[in-house]
Amino acid sequence: MLFTLARFLSCGIWFLAGLFKLTHFKHTVADMADRGIPYQTFFLVITVTIELGGSAMLFANVHVWLVALVWIAFMIIATPIYHGKIIVDGKIFFPEFVQCGKNISLAGGLIALALLDPALPAGLRAAVN
């Protein structure tokens, strides 16, 4: 029961982010271009697929551990690109500081979710224990 609740709560931010990007596609492509990201449409399609596809997989209890690992890898790449400007004019820019902290916290929860998944392959379980 608690694993199901953890899965549903964990996919909330990913589902909402993917839905926003999907319904504001042109705006998001422009934002990515402003940040210097090449091939914006290609990478946005991948991002939306990771966010919405992963949410669907968590909701359906399919490869939860794999989704958690993919989302962690995604955050390792995306966080410095989107939230890397923590220091502005020699001062901490608090909104971006919070976003980085949020992603670190999400990673911790995703690690726990992966480890709680009964379908986690035995070899991976043994490697982390």
pLDDT tens across 84-107, in order? Answer: 889 999 999 999 999 999 999 999
| Per-residue exposure over 71-81, b if at least 16 CB sit within 10 Å of its own CB, e if not | bbebbeebbee
Determine which helix (DSSP H) or strand (DSSP E) holds 87, and give its type and residue range. Answer: strand 87-88
The DSSP symbol for 53 reads: I
* H helix and E strand count, the chain: 7, 2
Q: What is the pTM of this model?
A: 0.91
Show the domain range for 110.
Answer: 2-128
Those residues of the chain that have pLDDT short of 70 are none
**Structural domains of the chain, count:** 1
Q: 10 Å Cβ neighbour count for 126? A: 8
